[in-house]
Structure 1
Amino acid sequence: MKYILFILFTVMTNAAAQLMLKQGMMSLGPLSFEGSNPLIKILQIVFSPWVFAGLLTFVISMASHLYVLSKVELSFAYPFLSLAYVAVAVFAYFVFHEDLNAWRIAGIAFICVGTVLIAQSGRDHGEVVAAASTEPTKTSELLR
Structure 2
Amino acid sequence: MKYIGFILFTVMTNAAAQLMLKQGMMSLGDISFAGTNPVIKILQIVFSPWVFFGLCTFVISMASHLYVLSKVELSFAYPFLSLAYVAVAVFAYFVFREDLNGFRIAGIAAICVGTILIAQGGSGHAETSDPSTPKSVQSSELTQ
Q: Give the structure-2-normalised TM-score.
A: 0.88
Name the CA distance, whole Å, in 2 between partners of 1:37 and 1:7.
40
Gaps of 5+ in 1: none
1:30 CA displacement: 1.2
Q: Which residue pairs with 2:87 in the alignment?
A: 87
Which one has the bigger helix percentage?
Answer: 1
Name the CA distance, whole Å, in 2 between partners of 1:18 and 1:35.
29
Instruction: Give the number of aligned pairs.
Output: 134
Q: RMSD between aligned alpha carbons? A: 1.6
Asked if the contact 2:7/2:80 (under 8 Å) is kept, the reply is: yes
Superposition pairs of residues 66-77 of structure 1, within 5 angstroms: 66-77=66-77
Name the CA distance, whole Å, in 2 between partners of 1:104 and 1:34.
36
1:137 CA displacement: 4.4
User: 3-state DSSP class of the match of 1:55?
Assistant: helix
Give % identity. 81
1:126 CA displacement: 2.0
Larger Rg: 2
Q: What amino acid is aligned across from residue 37 of structure 1 in structure 2?
A: N
Q: Which residue pairs with 1:28 in the alignment?
A: 28
Gaps of 5+ in 2: 135-144
Name the CA distance, whole Å, in 2 between partners of 1:66 and 1:74.
10
Asked if the contact 2:7/2:65 (under 8 Å) is kept, the reply is: yes
Q: Taking structure 1 as reference, are residues 119 and 48 closer, same or farther at Cα in structure 2, changes over 3 Å only?
A: same
| 2:44 corresponds to 1:44 | yes
Asked if the contact 2:46/2:52 (under 8 Å) is kept, the reply is: yes
Name the CA distance, whole Å, in 2 between partners of 1:41 and 1:120.
47
Superposition pairs of residues 1-144 of structure 1, within 5 angstroms: 1-122=1-122, 125-127=123-125, 129=126, 132-133=127-128, 137=130
Asked if the contact 2:77/2:124 (under 8 Å) is kept, the reply is: no
